[in-house]
Amino acid sequence: MRGSCHCGAVVFDVALTDGLATARRCDCSFCAMRGAVAASANLGDITFLRGEDNITRYTFNTGTAQHFFCATCGIYTHHQRRSNPHEYGVNLACLEGQTPFLPTVDVMDGKNHPKDTGGPRSAGTLRFTPTEDAP
């Protein structure tokens, strides 16, 4: 599946581990502000076609999670997960033919991180219902 940032400086191919079945959000302080829906990919399943040198990284707290952004337009493309450092979370909004506006999206409890509490916990579910006149 092809993905890119908003300005097109970063372009990549990715194989999601289980399609949209892993799509989720997180309620930790950073993810809540970022607001993206991410699906899982194994670390070796992203290939950068252009702009890998244009990616900037942000990390905080334990430094395990690595959040990656286009240095030009600032769009979050993917992150290496703290909950499973062998996986990336890939921004669905960056993937061709995908949308973050799924009917329901699980929200994981990142305020009480699985690495700190012994396992993943749900914080809730986001629901998207398009208006009747939406295309």
Domain encompassing residue 47: 2-127
CA–CA distance from 97 to each of 1, 31, 62 (Å)? 9, 23, 34
**What's the pLDDT at 126?**
83
Number of structural domains found in the chain:
1
pLDDT of residue 62: 83
Give the CATH number, domain containing residue 67.
2.170.150.70
- pLDDT reported for residue 66: 93
- Write out residues in the chain with pLDDT < 50, as ranges: none
CA gap 37, 25 in Å, rounded: 5
**pTM of the full structure:** 0.86
Residue 135 lies in a domain: no
The per-residue pLDDT for 99 is: 92
